[in-house]
Amino acid sequence: MHYPAVQFLRLLLWAFVPQWLVVQSSAASYTLQDSYVGTSFFSGFTFQTFHDPTHGRVDYVSMRDAQRAHLVDTSNTSFIVRVESASTLSPSSPGRKSIRIHSTKQYTTHILVADIWHMPTGCAVWPALWENGAKWPSGGEFDIIEGVNDIRPNLQSLHTSPGCTMSDTGEGPMKGYHNGNQGCGVAGNSMRDFGNAFNAAGGGWFVTERTNKRFTTWFWSRHDPTVPQSVKRGEQRVDTTAFGTPTALFVNSPSCNIVKMFGPHRIILNTSLCGDWAGSARTWSSSGCAARYGSSCDAFVERNPHAFREAYWNISAIRVYETVEPSTLDIDQGLNDQDVGVHTVEDKSVLLDSEFFDAQVPLQVVPIATNEG
């Protein structure tokens, strides 16, 4: 299906949380429900083949085609998915072959632990690990790992349909800092949480907790001595009260009802190239990629296959924990283009501009147009 230019009306949504809104729960203990390791990704996820909703210069391929092209490898301890890096492309081609997978289950309240050795990196590269509902934007969206052009740190964001507002009336206890021009974005506090620096450090662990009262995230680099043993070892139970100060904290409030705004989520992993964020003229230039590779992100992707040898995920495991009452739903795998969700909006290049880091005006999410075409 052809995607016209998507009209987005989202504004920056700051998530500074007043101290009086932050209510620490009693011991939050969770039990392992699903462990995706090696070949279990094939049964737990489906390979999507629709056109990239973010207008990336990619051609998402099926599992069979990915195996034939050697874009996916597995072992007992790893799941590797790559961007194709051997062929030059013509401007009329559908794009460079890449991977987008969706979990076959949806989750509501849960903990996700992503143990990752390597993430895609490089100019034009836009990797993401995220969650959203099957009928986007209804049900909300939670971006766990996202960034472009090897720009650090990692960006974690919430997006919703109309009706969710968080103001900058105070700062909650977290390490990250609020950033971004779309949804509610929090930039990580570690320069090892994204891109080449993440890979050079041996990767690490991203942990997210979703309850009916908040979304919380943590990150530990591979050799961080403070990583909880339950996370490091992939134990059967985890208790978030031992995790320490989070990277990001998004809290329920009268102006943003988490239960109402966020429905069951599937897990999504993908690598796009160029597109609405990485390939926008402003981002391509301000990231330094234009100075090195010319003014066209798409042309760079087409002519330089070897530039994408580092554009791969090497995942040790994705583990999902739930409380005693599991909150998973089987979902229809026959998704159409309108269901897939666009996890970027407008020009995120202002993330690179320091004046946006210091914005002090309360803003809100406003309606967005759906994908039609």
Distance, in Å, from the CA atom of 226 to the CA atom of 232, rounded to the nearest integer, reads 10
The residue to which tokens 């495991």 are assigned = 317
Distance, in Å, from the CA atom of 2 to the CA atom of 99, rounded to the nearest integer, reads 19
Q: H or E stretch including 199?
A: helix 195-200
Q: Are 55 and 3 in contact (CB under 8 A)?
A: yes
Q: Report which residue type is found at 110.
A: H
Nearest to 122 by CA among 301, 325, 327: 301
Q: Is residue 82 classed as helix, strand or coil in its secondary structure?
A: strand
Q: How far is CA 267 from CA 44, 55, 126, in A?
A: 10, 21, 17
141 annotated active-site: yes
Choosing from 84, 146, 209, 310, the catalytic residue is 146
Distance, in Å, from the CA atom of 297 to the CA atom of 279, rounded to the nearest integer, reads 5
The tokens of 275 are what?
A: 């597109």
Distance, in Å, from the CA atom of 12 to the CA atom of 109, rounded to the nearest integer, reads 26
Choosing from 84, 141, 209, 310, the catalytic residue is 141
Q: Are 217 and 49 in contact (CB under 8 A)?
A: no
DSSP-derived letter for residue 229 is H
Residue 158 exposure: Cα atoms within 13 Å on the Cβ side: 34
The tokens of 242 are what?
A: 């031992």
The tokens of 25 are what?
A: 């729960």
Give the catalytic positions in this structure.
141, 146
